[in-house]
Amino acid sequence: MKKVLFLSLIFMLSVQLQAQKSNYAQYAIKSGYVKYKITGNTQGIKELWWDDFGAKRKELEQSSSTVVIFGIKSEEKKHTLAIYDENKYYEVNYAKNTAQKFDIPFSSAMQGKTEKEREKEAERVINSLGGHKEGEQSFLGYKCTVYRLLGAKTWVYKGIPLKTNANILGIESNVEAVEFKKLSSLPKNTFTPPSDVKFEEQDVRAADLGALFQKAYAEENNQNINDNEEQITDIKPTKYPYDKFQKIVNNFQLENYTRILLISMQGVHAANFVKGFEGTLSIVATSKDNPEYEKNKEQLTKKKHKGKTYYFIQEKENSIIILDVPQYDSYIVISTEPVMPEDKMLKILDRLPF
């Protein structure tokens, strides 16, 4: 169960981060507008405007949801505005009277790829999570690629979802485009956040990732997250250049593994790979000044492999190699779940020229 939870968190996080990171071409159409009708347990309207091939986007949704679970009926009204403009993300929740803005320096696995490469990468991720490409069908007169994943079926045209039908645990959700326009351009103020709203600035920190997984693990094991609060500390930035880390990860391939996340936040670089629901592989570049690694290092035996210094940890559910990179006063931490023998971990290390 913990593995499913962990994989689900990685998947949801990667989707969220890639949605919020928008300074790369996401769609194969420069500018446009889509109006969706939402039916099922949720009823309403959703609108999408985009420019610069998706680098700038605005989404507006007004809907109401009714769900009955074990005889308990819950209703929720939604009225939200989301604006993605280069490295900035703005979100207004009119129903709850809240507004937030983020400045997020993420790097997507799709960055710099062509339309065909993005489609192939999307198929790899979907396949790794148990989904598949079903074929091609026409919708609104457009030739769409159809994907099926986790009880949902989606029609995608040049990167733009035009129709989604889902029925998960008896909860039905249908989002279908009723209006679709390709535009030459949009007014610049389309992506300007509303001036009559006070935005609360959010600082997305690398430490938040650790807190997210720690909280999820604690809940899974019926632990009190407050018992371990002292373990969540400020993370020191690594001196390892992100462009070098990114290049090495981009060139790395491991049979049956698919990369779903590549990020850098406040000097901590991280990449995640999944092997369906069978395993995970994580690669992290972190400063030696971060105490958790220094503490572990004192309890481990220093080892040598092809001129490199490393430490090996084998726990009940995962294996870890900590590679010493003195040039940048950093560690490269490679972890796998489930457990992998040290010799196989070293073979992975050989394919990562840090």
Structure confidence at residue 249 (pLDDT):
92
Return the ∠ at Cα 26 (arms to 100 and 209), rounded to 5°. 45
Residue 331 near residue 309, CB atoms below 8 Å: no
Alpha-carbon distance of 45 to 37, in angstroms, equals 5
Could you read off the pLDDT of 213-233 as tens digits, one per residue? Answer: 444 444 444 445 444 444 444
Give burial (CB, 10 Å; 0-12/13-18/19+) of 336. Answer: buried
Closest CA to 332 of 348, 316, 315, 314: 348
SS3 for 30? coil
Residue 153 near residue 144, CB atoms below 8 Å: no
pTM above 0.85, yes or no: no
Residue 64 near residue 40, CB atoms below 8 Å: no
Structure confidence at residue 294 (pLDDT):
57
User: In Å, what is the CA distance from 61 to each residue of 42, 52, 58, 108, 220?
Assistant: 11, 22, 10, 25, 33
- Averaged pLDDT, 236-249: 91
Sorted by where each starts, the structural domains of the chain and their CATH numbers stand as: 16-202 (2.50.20.10), 235-350 (3.40.1000)
Between 171 and 47, residue with greater pLDDT? 47
Could you read off the pLDDT of 261-317 as tens digits, one per residue? Answer: 787 776 788 888 877 657 789 999 989 887 655 555 566 788 999 999 999 988 877
